[in-house]
Amino acid sequence: MKVIITENYEEMSKKASEILVSIVKNNPNAILGLATGSSPIGTYQNMIKDHKENGTSYKNVHTVNLDEYVGLTADHDQSYAYFMRTNLFYGLDIDLKNTNLPCGSAKDLQAECDRYNALLENYKQDVQVLGLGSNGHIGFNEPNTPFDSVTHLVDLTENTIKDNSRLFASIDEVPRQALSMGIKNIMNAKSILMVVSGKNKAEAVKGMVKGEITPALPASVLQLHPFVTVICDKEAGSLL
Ligand code: F6R
């Protein structure tokens, strides 16, 4: 696991975007695994800036996202589908038909998980972008999710509901469930790029990098992947 500690969020975002842009430049047909949340927003802004200034094209890029809240339609402003369109896709020349997320408003959630797993069989991520939950989750794989899990329905923990409530009008509006790629789907990526910032992530970063490999801290599984780059700001990396 390669760990890069940066001065701040801006430098973290710049370095992460450089890695993603170079993957797309080397392979215009790249498959990008993407994440939502606060951590990659700056990275995505830099990718948009590069696209506008340098013309890096995403016309033939395909994307697969990690997760989606259950019960929110793609036009709900807190859905991850909406987040991806407004924070990245609308700023690029990507064809929206080439972008994929689990559908959280599907009637049959198990059938939707099966559809997404089948899709992931054909879309092996050249790189999977990840953030890190303060409880060590990756995607919405909460502590004690089996390492061999594939896309599944998740009951979000109180900790995650509380962390994510900052983006909703009240904690009661935060969905209690999500569909998430499993740990196996994440580990199947050819490479992994994690961005982490802030003091509240420092314990999880320490456990992920130096701790025991255990489902109790899902991100610790990344120690078993041959090509992982973690870019964290100095607060998130303060316990390393
Ligand atoms: C988002 C996701 C989550 C977040 C994590 C960190 O698609 O799967 O694992 O990456 O909760 O969220 P932020 O970046 O908001 O701190």
Residues 205-230 pLDDT 10s:
999 999 999 999 999 999 999 999 99
Q: What percent of the chain is modeled with pLDDT above 90?
A: 96
Q: Is the CB of 230 under 6 A from ligand 1?
A: no
Would residue 135 show up in a list of annotated catalytic residues for this protein?
yes
Tokens coding 96: 């929206």
Domain assignments of the chain as residue spans, ordered by start:
12-193
Residue 63 CB-density burial (10 A; 0-12 exposed, 13-18 middle, 19+ buried): buried
Q: What is the identity of the amino acid at 131?
A: G
First to last CA, the chain: 13
Q: Which residue among 135, 164, 185, 188 is the active-site one?
A: 135
Ligand 1 probe mutation, 130, 160, 161, 186, most atoms within 8 A of CB: 130
- Write down the mean pLDDT value for the chain: 97
Q: What is the pLDDT of residue 167?
A: 85
Distance, CA 193 to ligand 1 centroid (Å)?
13
12-193 belongs to CATH 3.40.710.10: no
Dihedral (CA of 104, 110, 111, 116) sign: positive
Q: Which of 184, 225, 219 is nearest to 204 (CA)?
A: 219
For the residues 30-45, what does the mean pLDDT come to? 97
Residue 197, SS3 per DSSP: coil
Q: Ligand 1: which atom is nearest the Cα of residue 34?
A: 7
CB proximity list for 122: less than 8 A, separation 6 or greater: none
**Is it the case that residue 57 has pLDDT exceeding 90?**
yes
Tokens coding 191: 């490479």
Would residue 142 show up in a list of annotated catalytic residues for this protein?
yes
Tokens coding 80: 């991850």
DSSP 68-101: EETT--TTSTTSHHHHHHHHTGGGS---GGGEE-
Q: What percent of the chain is modeled with pLDDT above 70?
A: 100
Q: What is the pLDDT of residue 1?
A: 97
Q: Is the CB of 39 under 6 A from ligand 1?
A: yes
Dihedral (CA of 153, 114, 73, 219) sign: positive
Angle at 14 between CA 233 and CA 126, to 5 degrees: 100
- The residues pairing with 177 across neighbouring beta strands, listed in sequence order, are 155
Distance, CA 31 to ligand 1 centroid (Å)?
20
Read off the pTM. Answer: 0.97
Q: Ligand 1: which atom is nearest the Cα of residue 180?
A: 8
Residues 81-111 pLDDT 10s:
999 999 999 999 999 999 999 999 999 999 9
**How far, in Å, are 73, 78, 131, 207, 213 from residue 186 at the CA level?**
24, 23, 12, 19, 16
For the residues 132-159, what does the mean pLDDT come to? 96
